[in-house]
Amino acid sequence: MRLLHVVAPEEAGLTLQQLLRGPMGLSGRQCRIAKAQGAVTVNAAPFFSNQPLAPGMRVCVELPDYDAQRMQGAQPDAPLEVVFEDDALLAVFKPALLQCHPSPSAPRGSDTLEGRVQAYLGRPAHPVHRLDSETTGLVLLSKLPYAQAHLQRQMQAGAFAKIYEAWVWGAPSPASGVVDAPIAREHPDSFTRVVSPDGQRAVSRYKTLSTLTRADGQTASHMRLSPVTGRTHQLRVHMAHIGCPLLGDARYAAPDARARSEALGLCDHQLSAVSLSFVHPLTGEAVTLTHPAVFAFDPAAHGFSP
């Protein structure tokens, strides 16, 4: 895989080593391998690592393809919906109740999204982010460690945007807004999260797309949700915090909301990742990927109407 980088005016004076480890985001190991193989050039010629660079110089790095061995857990006959693919990235749709990667509840060899991707590519891939088992939607993976690191830096800088859709109980007031409420573990060893003044800052944006009711007075709202920060279970915790838990959420909904979900036959929370926006790690171009929301909840079938 060839990485090309044109030195920007603000990068003038950086040494080649500083550019490789900084703006280009290569690891120390990648730099050592590339330089040992003579795979780093500047303006198509060799260049010393401690030499300063000038604006407009073209830095080229030939990265070796990473290990193409198949790994345990690959499911050659399992379906995989590919939304986007190029030399560096792969975006796929994850259905509900499929885990992203092996875990204690899905040990190595189980059917996972990671295994399906490895079977499709014939080699490993690097997840840029993950979704909970019950959540449906877009998952982005990198074919190169360099690209994965580049995208995760974008996430840390707030330049990687995610949009979700969800069905929640009730109707938020106001209909659109921001939830800024810190999140912490319920207990030191607990996987459950809670809003707590001792937690990490967590910010989510929400917008009500529609609100439906049915004859017995139950209300459900179709929401667009966008996490500004990236805390575990953030959207689920924040929607429950404002009194509108996700339909089917057995962990964060109050007992009455859980009972209503169970009466509708909803066994998993209704949350779907519908959009990812980021800067392509190789081309520098802005990319937005979308997929329609997929829910088990069918409002009309359950008697909900505008």
Q: What span, in angstroms and rounded, lies between the C-alpha atoms of 54 and 263?
A: 67
Q: Which of 65, 77, 111, 132 is catalytic?
A: 132
Structure tokens at 81: 């919906």
Distance CA 74, CA 65 (A): 20
Cβ neighbours of residue 170 closer than 8 Å, sequence gap 6 or more: 219, 220, 221, 243, 244
Task: In whole angstroms, give the CA distance from residue 225 to residue 107.
Answer: 31
At 14, give phi and psi (nearest 5°).
Answer: -65, 145
Q: Which residues pair with 4 in a beta bridge?
A: 60
Tokens read off for 195: 């809003």
268 classed as catalytic: no
Please state, in angstroms and rounded to a whole number, the distance separating the CA atoms of residues 279 and 223: 26
Write out the catalytic residue numbers: 132
